[in-house]
Structure 1
Amino acid sequence: MLALRGISVGRFHWLGFFAVLLLAWLALFAMAVPEELRALETTYGTGLIEALCGGVLGASGFAPALAMWALMSAAMMAPTALPAFRTYDDLGHVTATGFGQLVGGYLTAWLGFSLLAAGAQVALYRAGLVGALGQSLSVPLTAALLVGAGAWQFTAIKDACLSRCRAPLTFFIQHWEEGPVRNGLRMGLDCVGCCWALMLLAFVGGTMNLLFMGLAMVLMTLEKLPDIARYLTKPLGLALIAAGLALPLI
């Protein structure tokens, strides 16, 4: 039986999970905006990019923005929950249907976040605060996003959600009887509680920016590992706050 980092993928539900994850990242790679196009927007403004792309990048239309955020959320956040998915599988008596329901419940929570993020992107674009490629055009907005994300790292809600994400066995023992859909939804809500502010930093780096997505995914994954997170969560918060406060002075 094959194994990937200790996770058995001999079972069909794991094969399906990793296949869908790979397809999501391939789709993001295909949709990623080249640096040359980002440079054109900086030089000639959002009007040129909007004319070239017809709104397909999601800045001016809610439906494409929602599709973009939902794909980003699934591709970036499902890997951060791998320890919890593995714990669920290790508890035994898990069917492919039950596993799929767990993952589906988890992603439903992130779909809710995507609805709000897509609405925010369209509103910010129409207000002239973000460009056609989803990046902030406003120094105050960028600073607020950085300081807000940094401050969230120190909140009691973040700490509580992160604590539950770091202890999936305890979580499943407490909520097992609720079934996989509600378990997945609870997991997803905790994950959103941990990571929503960091996800919104996509408006700083630009949505559909592969570099941002990769870095953010790694940071959010490390935050859920107890042995590493205590050296990361609060220092990251301090760094984000410092960057946000320093930005208007640059």
Structure 2
Amino acid sequence: MILPRALRHQRAITIMALVLLAVLAWTWIVAGAGMAMDPLVSIVPQSMSDIATPDMPMADMAMGDMPMADIPAPPIEGTSAWSGSRILLVMSMWWVMMIAMMLPAATPTILLYAKAVGASAHVSADGSNGAMSPATGAFLAGYLIVWGGFSVFATLLHMMLDATGLLSAMGMASQSRVLSAIVLIAAGAYQLSPLKEACLNHCRSPGQFLARHYRPGRLGGMRMGVIHGAYCVGCCWLLMALLFVGGVMNLAWIALLTLLVAAEKLLPWGRAVAIVAGLGCIGWGIAILVF
């Protein structure tokens, strides 16, 4: 009975570690992610009617008519526009945001892997003494490293959109109806694609994923975490691009996308959720272009 008790203890420690990591990530986001922004302002979604069109430059808008999301954010102390420190800060913001949004949906796979490691690698011989096993920690690290790589790409895209004046300073939301429509329609179309379905099926089937990719030890755990992270990026990368539509620092939008990702991956009818969301995004994008 010693091994089952150790396994239960190890599972409890792993759950606590995952919850703590998610709570810390969300706390940092709610606090403004180091971007010198008021989190209460960020909670309010930017109205699509407030998004400027290409033929209505922001410079020509009167301050009295300028929506809150378009008021320039206070400068980050010690940084200039896209200095090295600001790039690192924005990259960190994206990475922590990805952790907050993706970790809840990945938790079942991480816990199943931790259970497999505890049963097959002998908890007492793994050096964990009832704590999170090194292999499970390596799995988590590999998963987060992949999202860190995605955050580098997101930061580069963020810089490009900001440099062209397509993002508002405060809410970091699209100021172009055309850009918003393109992102929404692209995200919606991808939701309906075979590639999305294939990646989502891997994310929705932790048992099949482990049966196919299981490797023991720290390196094995790291490899599996990277593979699982790659499937998750393949599943959700265009959903994450929707942050540029609703606002990268829009807490309500972040929470909504987090719930959508979790519903797709965890609910029995997750694929149907993805399809409905895809059709909704396409319809929204078309509506922006038409109206």
Q: TM-score range by the shorter chain?
A: 0.7 to 0.9
CA-to-partner distance for each residue in 1:154-188, whole Å, 9 max, x for gaps?
11211111111111111111111261001000000
Indicate whether 1:223 and 2:264 are aligned: yes
| CA pair 176-246 structure 1, distance change in 2 beyond 3 A | same
Taking only aligned residues, the RMSD between alpha carbons, in angstroms, comes to 2.9
| CA pair 187-102 structure 1, distance change in 2 beyond 3 A | same
Distance 1:80 1:87 in 2: 13
The 5 A counterparts of 1:86-105 are: 86-91=111-116, 92=119, 93=121, 95=128, 96=132, 97-105=134-142
**2:172–2:244 contact (8 Å) kept in structure 1:** yes
| Greater Cα offset, 12-21 or 207-216 | 12-21
Q: Name the SS of the counterpart of 2:39 in structure 1.
A: coil
Following superposition, the deviation at residue 131 of structure 1 comes to 1.4
**1:69–1:118 contact (8 Å) kept in structure 2:** yes
Which of 214, 230, 234 is equivalent to 1:193? 234
Following superposition, the deviation at residue 9 of structure 1 comes to 7.5
The 5 A counterparts of 1:143-154 are: 143-154=181-192
* Structure 2 equivalent of residue 180 of structure 1: 221
| CA pair 228-59 structure 1, distance change in 2 beyond 3 A | farther
Q: Which amino acid aligns with 2:75?
A: C
Q: Which amino acid aligns with 1:143?
A: A
* Structure 1 equivalent of residue 89 of structure 2: 64
| CA pair 59-161 structure 1, distance change in 2 beyond 3 A | farther
| CA pair 148-131 structure 1, distance change in 2 beyond 3 A | same
Q: Which amino acid aligns with 2:208?
A: T
Gaps of 5+ in 2: 1-7, 33-37, 47-62
Gaps of 5+ in 1: 1-6
Distance 2:43 2:12 in 1: 42
Distance 1:37 1:76 in 2: 16
Q: Which amino acid aligns with 1:249?
A: V
Indicate whether 1:17 and 2:18 are aligned: yes
Distance 2:237 2:258 in 1: 12
Which of 226, 233, 246 is equivalent to 2:287? 246
Which of 179, 203, 208 is equivalent to 1:141? 179
Following superposition, the deviation at residue 57 of structure 1 comes to 11
Q: Which amino acid aligns with 2:260?
A: L
Which of 34, 41, 58 is equivalent to 1:35? 41
Distance 2:95 2:157 in 1: 14
Which of 205, 209, 212 is equivalent to 2:250? 209
**2:197–2:271 contact (8 Å) kept in structure 1:** no
When normalised by structure 2's length, the TM-score is 0.75
**1:59–1:65 contact (8 Å) kept in structure 2:** no
* Structure 1 equivalent of residue 54 of structure 2: none
Following superposition, the deviation at residue 37 of structure 1 comes to 10
Alignment coverage as a number of residue pairs: 243
Q: Name the SS of the counterpart of 2:197 in structure 1.
A: helix
Following superposition, the deviation at residue 53 of structure 1 comes to 3.1
| CA pair 173-10 structure 1, distance change in 2 beyond 3 A | closer
CA-to-partner distance for each residue in 1:96-146, whole Å, 9 max, x for gaps?
211111111111111111100011011100101111131001111000110
Indicate whether 1:77 and 2:102 are aligned: yes
Which of 198, 203, 211 is equivalent to 1:165? 203
Q: Name the SS of the counterpart of 1:129 in structure 2.
A: coil
Larger Rg: 2
Aligned identity (percent) is 32
Distance 2:42 2:212 in 1: 51
**1:70–1:114 contact (8 Å) kept in structure 2:** yes
